[in-house]
A and B are shown apart, each in its own frame.
Chain A
Amino acid sequence: MTPQRMISAMFAAALAALIGAAPAFAQQPAPATPQDKEAHSGEAVPTVQDPVTAKRAVELESQLRCLVCQNQTIADSNADLAADLRAQVREQIAQGRTDREIKDYMVARYGDFVLYRPPLKATTILLWSGPALLFLAGLFMLVRTLRRRKIEGEPRPLSAEDRRQAARLLDAQDGATK
Chain B
Amino acid sequence: MARYLVPLIAFVVIVVFLAIGLRLDPREVPSPLIDKAAPDFTLARLHEPRPFAPSDMKGKVWLLNVWASWCVACREEHPVLLDLAKTGAIPIIGLNYKDKNDDAKAWLGQFGNPYQISAVDADGRVGINYGVYGVPETFLIDKAGIIRYKQIGPVTPEALAKKILPLAQTLEKQ
Which chain A residues have a beta carbon within 8 Å of chain B's beta carbons? 40, 42-43, 67-68, 70, 80-81, 84-85, 88, 107-113
- Min CB distance, B109 to chain A, in Å? 25
Give the size of the chain B interface in residues (CB under 8 angstroms): 17
CA distance A78 to B6 in the complex (A): 47
Mark interface residues in B1-31 (1 if CB within 8 Å of A CB, else 0). 0000000000000000000000000110111
Chain A at the B interface: mostly helix, strand, loop or mixed?
A: helix
Chain B at the A interface: mostly helix, strand, loop or mixed?
A: loop
CA distance A40 to B134 in the complex (A): 17
The residue from B29, B128, B130 contacting A84, defined by CB atoms under 8 A apart:
B128
Assess whether B32 is in contact with A109, with CB atoms less than 8 Å apart: yes
Mark interface residues in B111-131 (1 if CB within 8 Å of A CB, else 0). 000000000001110001111
Assess whether A110 is in contact with B32, with CB atoms less than 8 Å apart: yes
**Top 5 A-B residue pairs of the complex, sorted by shortest distance between their CB atoms:** A67-B133, A109-B131, A111-B32, A113-B29, A110-B131
Within 8 A of A (CB), among B77-109: 98
Assess whether A42 is in contact with B30, with CB atoms less than 8 Å apart: no
* A-B CB contact pairs (8 Å), 22 listed: A40-B123, A42-B122, A42-B123, A67-B134, A68-B134, A70-B26, A70-B27, A81-B124, A81-B133, A84-B123, A84-B124, A109-B33, A109-B128, A109-B129, A109-B131, A110-B29, A110-B32, A110-B131, A110-B133, A111-B131, A112-B32, A113-B29
